[in-house]
Amino acid sequence: MNSEQIINNLPYASPFLFVDALTEISENGVSGNYIFKEEAFFYKGHFKENPITPGVILTETMAQIGVVCLGIYLLQDEIVLKRKLQIALTSNQTDFYIPVLPNEKVTVISEKEYFRFNKLKCKVKMMNSKNELVCRGTISGMILTK
C-alpha cells in the first residue's frame, strides 16, 4: 500500500483531516507532513488577535500521521478485504514546546514501540519547518477492521 492509498483509507475528511503527505513509511514507523491553513476553523477563536494552533489539534495531527497512518500500513491486508476501520486513540503524555502558527508546515515523525493484538503504541514528535521541536509524546490506539 502506497502513501496515497493510506491517506485515502483514513477515516477523516476536511475540516478534520490533518495529513497532506507521507514521506516515509515502514513497519517500524512513519513520517509525514501537514500545513495548517490560515482559514482553518479553529483560528477564529484561538486566539482572537493572535491565532495559534490548539494543542488538541497538534495532538490529533500526530495521532493521524503517527498512529493511524502506520496502523493502516500494518493492517493493509485486512483493510483491503474489509475496508472499514474502527479507531480508539489515547495520548499518554504530550509535551508542547513552541506554538504552530497559521500557514506553518509541520512534520510528524513516529517510531513504533509495539503492535500486538491490534494495539499500536508509538513515540511521536512534531517538528516545524525550521526543524525545531514543537511537541512530542506517546500515543496509543486500538485499530480494528470490520
Q: Give pLDDT tens digits for 65-97.
A: 999 999 999 998 887 666 667 888 887 789 999
Rounded to 5°, angle at Cα 56 from 79 and 146: 20
Q: What percent of the chain has pLDDT over 90?
A: 80
- Told to judge if 98 belongs to the known catalytic residues of this protein, a careful annotator would answer no
pTM, rounded to two decimals: 0.94
Per-residue pLDDT, 18: 98
Give CA–CA dist 21/105, Å, rounded.
Answer: 11
Catalytic residue among 21, 46, 96, 121: 46
pLDDT tens digits for range 24-48: 999 999 999 999 999 999 999 999 8
User: Grid coordinates 500521521 are at which residue?
Assistant: 65
